[in-house]
Structure 1
Amino acid sequence: MTTDKLTIGFIGYGNMAQAMAQGLVDAGVLPGGRIVACANHYEKLAANAGKLGVRPLHSVQEVASAADMVILAVKPGQVAKICEPIRKELADEGRMVISIVGGFRMDDYADLLDEGTHLICSIPNTPIAVGKGIMVTQDQDTLTDDQRRLFNQVFEPVALIERLGADLTSVATTIAGCAPAYTAMYMEALADAGVKHGLPRQVAYRLAAMMTEGTGALHMATGTIPAAMKDAVCSPGGSTIRGVAALEKSGFRGSVIDAIDTVEGA
């Protein structure tokens, strides 16, 4: 199987599923017409699916039958109900199943899917919509080698695929999946400060957004650790180090760590 003939099916078509579909279509991985989806409210599904040419279907059975790659994109409490009527279809030798259900790992599917189902658990984040995503992926799966290559072929154009042991996927998902909200708050605060000092709002947003994207891109391109990147901007006695000192005085880094601890229940 290659992406030239692949059909992807979403069971559940909420914000994350739509972000994935958007990223895949915009990146040219496959056209919207080779994506199918079902959801609880068909009229809303049809309206959202129509934006990309995704084909709306009426049932999980239709999606399971039509798709080579089935993506489970429902809430945790819905998984058992969703899987039961399509266990046989999902276990088809030529089909692969991707779970993007928050908090679900391979072991959680032991009693929900038939033996022999080709399954991988991977949690994306919303920047996948613009080809800048992360997929935190459990390093144990039941895919064949060819299916694993296909998974990479489909998602590498739109996301960094980070494979980790089950014991680390939770905190990795918190950093990759929750931190876009924290980063957006930081960008908003920077923009507010710019507006306070006279910048037009949209200019301030653009500066904050591009600075954030560029700093991340610089690390990815060079491998320079964040501490060294910070030091490179901080001239002795300069304005940047004074700002860094003010952030440290306010507990900036401690607050970020506290946010992750809170989500992880530490």
Structure 2
Amino acid sequence: MAKKASEVEVGFIGFGNMAQAMARGLVDSGVLPGARIHACAAHFDKLQTTAAKLGANAHRDAGEVVEASDFVVLAVKPYLVEQVVAPVRDLLADKAVISVAAGRDFAFYEDVLASGSRHLSTIPNTPIAVGAGVIACERRHSLTTEQLETFESLFGQIALIEWVDGALLSTASSVAGCGPAFAAMFLEALGDAGVKHGLPRATAYRLAAQMMMGTAKLHLETGEHPGAMKDAVCSPGGTTIKGVAALEKDGFRGAVIDAIDAIQGA
């Protein structure tokens, strides 16, 4: 039987921005107490400080993290994965291994981990820190049914879990993983425009941020096509269609698509 989310011990090998975002999301959303989170990182003093903020356990090495955890999140830079896995390869064989390293798919871990290991490759994004994230997951994995149920009950409370074929994991990462940077730029630009026309900056940012969040929620809850959502706001001869026309003239959509193309071609 799958463990209840609140009973799982989650370990992080590497505790950089993404790992901290995941841990913060779990703790702040009340999904998991900090005492059930374990982490190790290259700089132990810094780790102790960041872990303490969440009430999490700081460990000096990966072996301690693995032994204390049911789920082990590999959250190091992609080029470091093999190096950090090697000393704990046998210990990981009894755990559910969750990778958040870009470009490291099922086939990669079949070679790196011990035979028969249970693993899943994912790409989360930073809004997971506030319980509004996305985790793109490779459809091919080797988790047991119980481990998969636990994973979904645990992280499904703080992120949309989207399953894609391995060949599309990179594209999903570009849209959802890199997208927050583009969205933040749009938020900043809307704020600048508001300030230009007299709004206090904090007010402009709040208006823009709430608008972006609400628009996204409207789409997710209704499934309405974005084009139809745009049309619903554009009255004939009105202000919105004039703004849309200006964005089209300046290549707004093309610029967004070019950004994804640039990432995919990197």
User: Is the partner of 1:189 in helix, strand or coil?
Assistant: helix
- Normalised by the length of structure 2, the TM-score is 0.98
Q: Tell me, what secondary structure is at the counterpart of 2:111?
A: coil
Task: Tell me the percent identity.
Answer: 55
* Cα offset, 1:145, TM superposition: 0.6
Residue aligned with 2:12, SS: strand
The within-5 A match list for 1:118-129 is: 118-129=118-129
In structure 1, the residue matched to 2:63 is 61
Gaps in structure 2 of 5+ consecutive residues: none
Structure 1 residues 1-266: aligned runs within 5 Å = 1-92=3-94, 95-265=95-265
Q: Distance in 1 between matches of 2:40 and 2:194?
A: 44
> How much does 1:124 deviate?
0.4
**Counterpart amino acid of residue 148 in structure 1:** L
In structure 2, C-alpha distance between the alignment counterparts of 1:232 and 1:187, rounded to whole Å: 21
CA distance in 2 between counterparts of 1:27 and 1:139 reads 26
Tell me by how many angstroms 1:15 deviates. 0.4
Secondary structure at the aligned position of 2:108 is classed as helix
RMSD: 0.8
Question: Given the two structures, how large is their TM-score scaled by the length of structure 1?
Answer: 0.98
In structure 1, the residue corresponding to 2:236 is in which secondary structure?
Answer: coil
In the TM superposition, what is the alpha-carbon distance from 1:116 to its structure 2 partner?
1.1
C-alpha contact 2:96 2:119 (8 A) present in aligned 1: yes
Residue 77 of structure 1 deviates from its aligned partner by 1.2
1-side partners of 2:43 and 2:55: how far apart?
A: 18
Partner Cα distance (1:152, 1:140) in 2: 15
Report if aligned partners of 2:73, 2:99 keep a CA contact under 8 Å in 1: yes
Q: Residues 170-194 of structure 1: CA distance to partner in whole angstroms, max 9, x if unpaired?
A: 1111000101101100110100000
Q: Counterparts of 1:31 and 1:193 in 2: how far apart (Å)?
A: 41
CA distance in 1, matches of 2:140, 2:110: 13
Aligned-pair CA distance for 1:139: 0.5
Residues 130-161 of structure 1 show CA distances to partners (whole Å, capped at 9, x for unaligned) of 01000000001001111110010101110000
Quote how far apart the aligned CAs of 1:102 are: 1.1
Gapped runs of 5+ residues in structure 1? Answer: none
**Separation in 1 of the partners of 2:201 and 2:6?**
44
Regions of 4+ moved over 3 Å: none
